[in-house]
Amino acid sequence: MNYLTLIMAIPLLGAALIATLPQSKSLLAKQFALGTTLVAAIATIFMTTKFERSNTALQFVESYDWIKAFGIKYAVGVDGIALVLILMTALLTPIVVLAGWNESEGGRWSTKTFYILILVLQTMSFGVFAATDVFLFYVFFEAMLVPVYFLIGGYGSGERTAAAVKFLLYSLFGGLLMLASIIALYVLSGEQGGHTFDIGALSQLEMSSTTQNLLFLGFFIAFAIKAPLFPFHTWLPDAAKSATPGTSVLLLGVLDKVGTFGMIRYCLALFPDATKTFTPVIITLAVISILYGAFLAIGAKDIKRLIAYTSISHFGFITLGIFAMTTQAQSGATLYMFNHGFSTAALFLVAGWMISRRGSSTIADFGGLQRVTPVMAWSFFIAGMSSLALPGLSSFVSEFLVLVGTFTRYPVAAVLATFGIVLAALYILIPVQRALHGPTEPGNENLNDLNLREKIAIAPIIAVIVLLGFYPAPALNIINPAAAQVVSQMGFTDPAPTHGGK
Amino acid sequence: MTEFISPTLSYSLLSPILVVFAGAIIGVLIEAFASKSIRPIAQVSVSIGTLVLALVQVWRIRNSSSTTAAMGSVIIDGPGLLLQGTILVISIIAIFLIADTENFAAAAAAIPGSPEERESIARGQQVTEVFPLTLFAVAGMLIFPVSSDLITLFVALEVLSLPLYLMAGLSRRRRLLSQESALKYFLLGAFSSAFFLFGAAYLYGYSGSISFAGIREAVVGGTGNDVFLLIGMAFLSIGLLFKVGAVPFHAWSPDVYQGAPTPVTAFMAAATKVAAFGAMLRIYYTVFANAEWSWRPLLTAIAIISMVFGSLVAIAQRDVKRMLAYSSIAHAGFLLTGVIALNKAGLDASIYYLFAYGIATVGAFAVVTLVRDSAGEVTDLNRWAGLGKRSPWVATSFATFLLAFAGIPLTSGFIGKFSIFSAAYESGATAVVIAGVLSSAIAAFFYIRVIVLMFFSDPLEDATSVLIPSILTRITVLFSAVVTIFLGVFPSPLLDFISNIAIFIR
């Protein structure tokens, strides 16, 4: 059964159906979109149950010739890492559709177009995680910019056009650097036994160390822009501020994961030696991201920018975990990607509701929400606690794994990164205090609490955050074998604990 | 006394060219003898019929090859036929645009602003000469990439150029600008033809032969005086580079693109490039291949400068036709990459790129003909603001063409760029690939700016209206958009077709 192609086809079919609806039926378009994403989510969950956890090879593999002249294939397959990201995408999209039921109304175009863009984006997100052909990956990687660009520029708020263009140009620039590397890989593969884009075959290529370093950089910069890692992060706050909350969830929760996922799947697998060369630099950048993002978040006055800055800090943790090259850190990084998707979704969605009720996104304009709108306030609180990695919530597990895994190899970096946790407490608790507690700001007395639709949307996210906080095994069981495989393929073994067993 | 040898011609292999010439002559006869009322419809149907028939002929002989089709003056082989087919497809969809005579002066010879001009407009005159002129140009273009001696090459160059000079001056609106552009094009074109002839003379001096085969033998043997070869190559290249609009021989193109009637710009921009690159590919891949160390570094430099210059200057343009002109200069640079590659992959990639680029170019200019106000076409980019709101389909197709020019995946432009860059990289031309990738990033900026303008800006007060497209224009836009997307998603059939038959015979 071709599960991967199936789950990629479902949103596309939904988009085609919505396209045939008349312009005036915007409610029907929303219902169709919700239905489609729910079907896709159910199909993905079903696929996950069929996944053999202990098997480290790629599963659900399919491969067909696409452009034979260049050896390009439509080839898909997943390991545990790709699977959890696909699962995350599939679960987040219906929540985003439900939570942002009225998001499309302030747009330049119709509701119909909004949901077509969302669904096309979902297909491409599945594709980008599932692709095992570098060319196919690149096509998804670049093509998914187009729907996001229109989602930000067409349905966002404030300086939406400028933000959309900034996002697109940054990403395109990174993408073109990657294209240069891909062309080089293609030519090298041609010299060494036939043109191919298969990751497995490409990872066997012989390359001089200079070539490997240059090609690594082409890929890495593209992913660092996407992730985003300091100093390539400046597009993110603008994009996140201007996009609708739902789009921001998909942008930070799903799209940016392509960057960190790409580092694991492509940078590490294709260029193991170059990875080792650049690891010290990348670890440094990751630590800077963690601390710098946190400081920016502490100083942020706008709630959407604040969430974007916290994400820069979190992506620092993920990158740190990926390049620490221990099994724990690698597993932690992947779990972190999954958890970050949910905690950021919760933050953005609740913040979106707060903003649309209050008509302002400045933190200082809120205050005392806990008395006026208790359910909304508690939801924001839980999301915030998850973001600062409170024990018992899911992010704690992943953050802890990353730090423990990093400490065994890079103790200094791990210690510095630990300060990120302290700063996280600051950047979350300050807005929590200002927005939720204290005296009710004038103008906030009559805000409505969450309605049923919004409660239904936020409930599954909080459920995931709490459940995986207490019992992360279901996710880790899928991730661990794949993460261990990545580390061992790189030729690393986990360092023995220095003080163990005395 | 030498005996007169009667020429033997292979009419079958020459039929595409002959059909187009015949059509052009019929067009002239229609001008002379048919009554005014039936002229337009007669001309349109003859032109389209001729071009379609020629395309059918090309298809029929697609697997043929011969060096003796016209006593050694013409080589019929896979690349030549592919390029002829490309030129014909482009010409057919361009003729659909030219058929909308709204774009052309009522009486080309009347002085702008004169009573004669007003009178001719009042009488509802139409310039139907443009159709036979187009056919003559097409005939020249068909010969250009299959020529196999310098004289035929030169004659083809002139046959394709002279009608274009005239056609550039036929615009109905802003006639002075149009006539100025025609004069500029003519003067600079004549200048470059002189360079071309000068180069041809040196090559004759070098090799003692005007045939490509003879020159190649001399290059391979290395018997001649190398100075003559270098001078000859340089001047011949100037003539060709002028036609494709590569820097520093590009100065004419923004003015001519802007001044010429838009359908003519579409035809010229797309078809001339195919013909000229066709000839270049043949000359550099066969005749000069063994002297690659002499020309490759220079062409590499020109390619890099063209890409970077075209992309950078395009950013500053406020006129959509000028912007497309600078973008075409950048594309000339990308296409030169294929010439530099000098391998089979480069040949295949260039032909694919020419086809994809040509179709998208005609499509883009077709959209330009549609955006108008009461005074004619609106080419000021600021006034395109909000087009996406008023005419979503027109704006969407234009965006498709721009994305193809920018080389975004799932459009034909991406496959073209990928194949041409990978071929160049394979041949070791790393510098040109890196420059190409970087200038693609620059170019993306101004393509995207137009998309922003169309979709994200609010319309200005003095709204431009989009003409309800005539059925022929609609076909052109739709066909170009569909081909652009299709070739981005399923390029295999065309790529395989090209790679199977694109082999130069010598």
Which pLDDT does position B251 carry in this prediction? 86
Nearest to A180 among B348, B409, B437 (CB): B437
Residue A70 touches chain B, beta carbons under 8 Å: yes
Which pLDDT does position B462 carry in this prediction? 63
> Ranked by mean pLDDT, which of A101-115, B143-157, B440-454 comes out on top?
B143-157
**Closest-CA residue of chain A to B493:** A67
Structural domains in chain B (count)? 1
User: Is B2 part of a structural domain of the chain?
Assistant: no
Nearest to B426 among A67, A146, A190 (CB): A190
Which of B348, B387, B402, B422 has the highest number of chain A CBs within 10 A, making it the mutation to test binding with A?
B422
Which pLDDT does position B129 carry in this prediction? 86
Query: Domain of B332?
Result: 11-501
Task: Give ∠ CA A147-A149-A152 in degrees, rounded to 5.
Answer: 105
CA distance A268 to chain B (A): 24
Q: For residues A321 and A334, give the distance between their C-alpha atoms in angstroms, rounded to a whole number.
A: 8
Residue B343 touches chain A, beta carbons under 8 Å: no
Mean pLDDT of B209-231: 87
* Residue range A49-73, pLDDT digits in tens: 888 888 878 888 888 888 888 888 8
* Residues in a beta bridge with B466: B371
Interface touch B456/A146, C-beta < 8 Å: no
Q: For residues A80 and A82, give the distance between their C-alpha atoms in angstroms, rounded to a whole number.
A: 6
Indicate the average pLDDT of chain B.
88
Low-confidence winner among A16-20, A258-262, B456-460 (lowest mean pLDDT): B456-460
Which of B455, B457, B497 has the highest number of chain A CBs within 10 A, making it the mutation to test binding with A?
B455
Asked if the model's pLDDT at residue B199 lies above 90, the reply is yes
Q: For residues A170 and A439, give the distance between their C-alpha atoms in angstroms, rounded to a whole number.
A: 42
Higher pLDDT, A386 or B468: A386
**Closest-CA residue of chain B to A72:** B492
The CB-side HSE value for A205 (13 A sphere, CA atoms) comes to 29
DSSP, res A437:
S
User: Is B457 part of a structural domain of the chain?
Assistant: yes
Q: Which residues contact A470 (CB under 8 A, 6 or more apart)?
A: A392
Which of A114, A136, A151, A172 has the highest number of chain B CBs within 10 A, making it the mutation to test binding with B?
A172
Q: Which two tokens stand for residue A145?
A: 């910019």
Asked if the model's pLDDT at residue A500 lies above 70, the reply is no
Q: Tell me the pLDDT band of B429, cut-offs 50, 70 and 90.
A: confident
Which pLDDT does position B204 carry in this prediction? 92
Count of A-B CB contacts under 8 Å: 82
Q: For residue B376, count other CB atoms closer than 10 A to its CB.
A: 15
Asked if the model's pLDDT at residue B56 lies above 90, the reply is yes
Asked if the model's pLDDT at residue A346 lies above 90, the reply is no
User: Is B377 part of a structural domain of the chain?
Assistant: yes
Which pLDDT does position A362 carry in this prediction? 80
Asked if the model's pLDDT at residue A491 lies above 80, the reply is no
Which pLDDT does position B202 carry in this prediction? 93
Residue B111 touches chain A, beta carbons under 8 Å: no
Mean pLDDT of B425-453: 87
Q: Tell me the pLDDT band of B159, cut-offs 50, 70 and 90.
A: very high
Asked if the model's pLDDT at residue A495 lies above 90, the reply is no
Q: Which two tokens stand for residue A100?
A: 């942002």
Q: Tell me the pLDDT band of A1, cut-offs 50, 70 and 90.
A: low
Residue B434 touches chain A, beta carbons under 8 Å: yes
% residues pLDDT > 90 (chain A): 4
User: Is B157 part of a structural domain of the chain?
Assistant: yes
**Closest-CA residue of chain A to B426:** A187
Which pLDDT does position B265 carry in this prediction? 92
Residue A108 touches chain B, beta carbons under 8 Å: yes
* Residues B317, B323 contacting (CB under 8 angstroms): yes
* Residue range A131-189, pLDDT digits in tens: 888 899 999 998 888 888 888 887 877 778 888 888 888 888 888 888 888 888 888 88
Interface touch A68/B499, C-beta < 8 Å: no
Q: For residues A443 and A365, give the distance between their C-alpha atoms in angstroms, rounded to a whole number.
A: 9
Q: What is the ipTM of this complex?
A: 0.84
% residues pLDDT > 90 (chain B): 44
Q: For residues A338 and A397, give the distance between their C-alpha atoms in angstroms, rounded to a whole number.
A: 12
Q: Tell me the pLDDT band of B88, cut-offs 50, 70 and 90.
A: very high
CA distance B392 to chain A (A): 10
Q: For residues A485 and A200, give the distance between their C-alpha atoms in angstroms, rounded to a whole number.
A: 14
Q: For residues A76 and B182, give the distance between their C-alpha atoms in angstroms, rounded to a whole number.
A: 55
* Residue range B360-409, pLDDT digits in tens: 999 999 998 888 877 777 888 888 888 888 888 888 999 999 999 988 88
User: Is B155 part of a structural domain of the chain?
Assistant: yes
Nearest to A139 among B409, B425, B426 (CB): B409
Q: For residues A242 and A238, give the distance between their C-alpha atoms in angstroms, rounded to a whole number.
A: 6
Mean pLDDT of B434-448: 88
Q: For residues A380 and A435, give the distance between their C-alpha atoms in angstroms, rounded to a whole number.
A: 10
Q: How many helices (H) and strands (E) does chain A have?
A: 22, 2
Which pLDDT does position B464 carry in this prediction? 62
Nearest to A173 among B414, B441, B496 (CB): B441
Asked if the model's pLDDT at residue A501 lies above 50, the reply is no
User: Is B206 part of a structural domain of the chain?
Assistant: yes
Write the Ramachandran bin of B96: left for phi over 0, alpha for psi from -120 to 50, otherwise beta.
alpha
Residue A150 touches chain B, beta carbons under 8 Å: yes
Interface touch B456/A160, C-beta < 8 Å: yes
Which pLDDT does position B187 carry in this prediction? 92
Interface touch A183/B418, C-beta < 8 Å: yes
CA distance A223 to chain B (A): 16
Low-confidence winner among B45-49, B173-177, B240-244 (lowest mean pLDDT): B173-177
Segment 375-414 of chain B within 8 Å of chain A by CB: 389, 403, 408-410, 414
Q: Which residues contact B360 (CB under 8 A, 6 or more apart)?
A: B401, B404, B405, B412, B413, B480, B484
Interface touch A142/B408, C-beta < 8 Å: yes
Higher pLDDT, B151 or A23: B151
Which pLDDT does position A497 carry in this prediction? 59
User: Is B308 part of a structural domain of the chain?
Assistant: yes
Interface touch B495/A69, C-beta < 8 Å: yes
Asked if the model's pLDDT at residue B209 lies above 70, the reply is yes
Residue A298 touches chain B, beta carbons under 8 Å: no
Nearest to B440 among A68, A176, A186 (CB): A176
Residue in this structure with the two tokens 């260049």, named with its chain if needed:
A70
Compute CA B277 distance to the chain's CA centroid, rounded to the nearest angstrom. 9
User: Is B175 part of a structural domain of the chain?
Assistant: yes
Higher pLDDT, B377 or A42: A42
> Which residues from A are below 8 Å from B418, CB to CB?
70, 179, 183
**Closest-CA residue of chain B to A144:** B409
Indicate the average pLDDT of chain A.
84
Q: Tell me the pLDDT band of B416, cut-offs 50, 70 and 90.
A: very high
Q: For chain B, state the CA radius of gyration.
A: 22
Pick the closest to residue B496 from A72, A131, A132, A180 (CA basis). A72
Phi, psi (rounded to 5 degrees) for A62: -135, 150
DSSP, res A108:
S
Asked if the model's pLDDT at residue A214 lies above 60, the reply is yes
Which pLDDT does position A502 carry in this prediction? 41
**Closest-CA residue of chain B to A178:** B437
Q: Which two tokens stand for residue A426?
A: 């600051």
Residue A19 touches chain B, beta carbons under 8 Å: no
Mean pLDDT of A229-235: 84
Q: Which two tokens stand for residue A306?
A: 């604040």
> Ranked by mean pLDDT, which of A260-269, A424-433, B231-240 comes out on top?
B231-240
Which pLDDT does position B467 carry in this prediction? 67
CA distance A3 to chain B (A): 22
Residue B441 touches chain A, beta carbons under 8 Å: yes
Q: Which two tokens stand for residue A53?
A: 């956890």
Which pLDDT does position B378 carry in this prediction? 80
Nearest to A142 among B409, B425, B499 (CB): B409
Which pLDDT does position B144 carry in this prediction? 93
Q: For residues B229 and B222, give the distance between their C-alpha atoms in angstroms, rounded to a whole number.
A: 10
Q: For residues B201 and B212, give the distance between their C-alpha atoms in angstroms, rounded to a whole number.
A: 13
